Amino acid sequence: MTIETSRADIARFKQEAQAGTVKFDPDAARRCAEMYDHQADRLIYLQQRLESVADLQGFGGFVSSQQLQAGFGHKARDAAELLDHYIEAAYRMKEAFLISAGLYEEADAANAAALRAVETRLPR
């Protein structure tokens, strides 16, 4: 499954929720939304940890050790950037579940969180 496939599945679920084809009880939708909120929190924590190790020091002065240090830093930054997609997906799922129960104000807050996750990927 690719990120693009997952996005399409989430968008389809959201469209069906907006159309009323998929409906959840408000309590059940909130429980599902809460699970995705916790998932986003865990992913954000992991992302912060990856970013904190992206600039490790202490590999020594040899050229090969500096190359190794740069390689590990690059991998950590790439992984942290990739997590933005999964964070956005978690917020989008939260939003769709809330929409399916008619909880539009809460869904708007989830949408805003998803947009913030997307903004971190935009070039500045």
Number of structural domains found in the chain:
1
Tens-digit pLDDT profile for residues 4-56:
899 999 999 999 999 999 999 999 999 999 999 999 999 999 999 988 888 77
pLDDT of residue 121: 58
Q: Which domain holds residue 56?
A: 23-119
Quote the CA–CA distance of 68 and 93 in Å, as a whole number: 38
Res 122: pLDDT? 56
- 29 HSE (CA, 13 A, CB side): 22
Q: Judge whether 18 lies within some domain.
A: no
- For the chain, the straight-line distance linking the first and the last C-alpha, in angstroms and rounded, comes to 30
What is the number of other CB atoms lying within 10 angstroms of the CB of residue 124?
A: 4
93 within domain boundaries: yes
- pTM, to two decimals: 0.83
- Residue 16 in any domain: the answer is no
Q: Which two tokens stand for residue 46?
A: 């992991």
